[in-house]
Amino acid sequence: MTPLRLHSTRPLTGRLAPSPTGALHLGHARTFLLTWWHLRQRGASVHLRHEDLDAGRARPEHQQAIEDDLRWLGVDWDGPPVVQSRGLDRLQAALAALHARGLAYWCTCSRAELRQLQSAPQLGELELRYPGTCRGRWSTLEEAEREAGREAGLRFRVPSGEIRFVDQVLGPQRFDVQATVGDFLISRRDKTPAYQLAVVLDDADAGITEVHRGADLLASTARQLLLQRALGLPTPRYHHFPLVLDAEGRRLAKRVDSLSLATLRAGGVPAERVVAWVARSAGLSVPRAVSARELIHEFTLERVPTQPVRWLGTLD
């Protein structure tokens, strides 16, 4: 498959896209600061979008806390924040269009059934590959739910072959989505649009030309490129920053309250200390404390390590 060209002649526009499901921690601070520096030094617009489609975990109070944390770090944005769940009508319209064109189909399989179909167990956070059980099985949503006796989700029909792109941090990438993930959900069984579709449409609507995020979402990019192609949407440039890991090599989690920005702030830690730690992790030589704005023109993407960063228990 021909590699997709990730470029745009549109005005430079990026986004900060936190999920309001808990407190921001040092790993988030690093990703958001690197994003903000890279965008602001080139005169790009910065949008803030709360990705709140996970109704079971997202909370309005987390949105305000996130904005407070970002301001504390010295990170700003242009225009009012956008809340993802307020744009459900256009997401539902895109789902209907994909289904009408035969690019998506209804699926009634449960996660328990998918686990039983695997030839070998998968551990940790690896995603189960969908084998296409419901491809061509149901004509309508009503038929699927009536015959199966359960709610149905909508899966994107993934073509075979590799998707290739160049990540601006991690270099050339290649993924075979059909071989590793299979047809993936674009609408959950509760009819809420899934992350992969929502982020593609939101980025297109906002005119996003630059996507910056953690490397844990690198594989998702191939799925999003497929959806962009199916919907005729432009493709941004992608930048994936390696994660911050704890001493045991696990990525930092929102449940680790001691490393949340709110806890650090409440404990009297100056934001400038956090900013300096992030700057050093990105290859900059800075004093023990420095403001985010001071480093806009010091940051260079080329210095950012391509390996994960270890949190060693101190900001020094």
Contact at 8 Å (CB) between 167 and 235? no
Residues 228, 182 share a domain: no
Q: Is residue 35 part of a domain?
A: yes
Q: 62 and 93: one domain?
A: no
CATH of residue 206: 3.40.50.620
Tell me, yes or no, whether 6 lies in a domain. Answer: no
**The tokens of 89 are what?**
């009508």
- Give the model confidence (pLDDT) of 110-163 as tens digits: 877 777 766 544 433 467 899 999 999 999 999 999 999 999 999 999 999 999
Buried b (16+ CB within 10 A) or exposed e, 139-174: eeeeebbeebeeebbbbbbbeeeebebebbbbeebe
Contact partners, residue 278, CB within 8 Å, separation at least 6: 29, 30, 33, 34
Mean pLDDT by 10 residues, the chain (316 residues): 50 96 94 98 98 90 96 98 94 96 96 67 61 94 95 97 98 97 96 96 97 97 98 98 89 73 94 98 96 97 96 88
Instruction: Note the pLDDT tens digit of each residue in 147-157.
Output: 999 999 999 99
Q: Alpha carbon of 82 to those of 21, 63, 207, 272, 308: distances in Å? A: 16, 10, 13, 27, 30
**Residue 138 belongs to a domain:** yes
pTM of the complete model: 0.91
Same domain, 190 and 228: no
CATH number, residue 158: 3.90.800.10
The answer to whether position 141 is within a domain reads yes
Q: Does any domain span residue 266?
A: yes
Q: Are residues 136 and 258 in the same domain?
A: no
Same domain flag for 65 and 214 = yes
Q: Does 67 reside within a domain?
A: yes
* Residues forming beta bridges with residue 108, ordered by sequence position: none
Asked if 156 and 93 sit in the same domain, the reply is yes
Domain enclosing residue 296, as ranges: 13-85+199-310
Rounded to whole angstroms, the Cα distance separating 119 from 81 reads: 45
